[in-house]
Amino acid sequence: MYKIAVAGTGYVGLVAGVCFAEVGHHVICVDVDEVKVNLMKQGISPIFERDLEDLMQKNYSAGRIDYTTDYQAAYRDADVIFLGVGTPEQADGSANLSYIATAARQVAETIEKDCLIIVKSTVPIGTNDKVEQFIKDFLIHEVRVEVASNPEFLAQGSAVHDTLHAARIIIGTESKWAENILMKVYEPFHLPIVSMSRRSAEMTKYAANDFLALKISYMNEIANLCELVGANVQDVAKGMSYDERIGSTFLNAGIGYGGSCFPKDTKALEYLGRQHGYELKTVKAAIDVNKEQKLLLYKKACKRLITFSGLKVAVLGLTFKPETDDLREAPSIVNVPLLLEQGASIYAYDPVGAENFKKRYPEGTKENGSIKYVDNIKEALSNANVCFIFTEWKQIKEVRPDSYKQLMRTPLIYDGRNIYNINDMKDAGVEYYSVGR
- pLDDT of 269 strictly over 80: yes
* Alpha-carbon gap, residue 7 to 31, rounded angstroms: 7
- For residue 279, the SS3 value is coil
State pTM to two decimals: 0.90
Is 115 an annotated catalytic residue? no
Q: Domain 204-293 is of which CATH architecture? A: Orthogonal Bundle (1.10)
Q: How far is CA 419 from CA 12, 226, 426, in A?
A: 30, 17, 14
Q: Domain 3-196 is of which CATH architecture? A: 3-Layer(aba) Sandwich (3.40)
Fold exhibited by the domain 296-433: Rossmann fold (3.40.50)
- pLDDT of 367 strictly over 80: no
**pLDDT tens-digit readout, 275-317:** 999 999 999 999 999 999 999 999 999 999 999 999 999 999 9
* Alpha-carbon gap, residue 62 to 48, rounded angstroms: 23
Instruction: Please give the angle made by the CA atoms of 361, 366 and 368, to the nearest 5 degrees.
Output: 135
Q: Which amino acid is at 355?
A: E
- Choose, from 226, 261, 302, 387, the residue flagged as catalytic: 261
Per-domain residue ranges of the chain: 3-196, 204-293, 296-433
Asked whether 193 and 201 are in contact (CB, 8 A), the reply is no
**How much is the average pLDDT of 317-321?**
96
- pLDDT of 137 strictly over 90: yes
Does the fold of domain 204-293 match that of domain 3-196?
A: no
Q: Which amino acid is at 281?
A: K
Tell me the CA end-to-end span of the chain in Å, nearest whole number.
54
**How much is the average pLDDT of 127-154?**
95
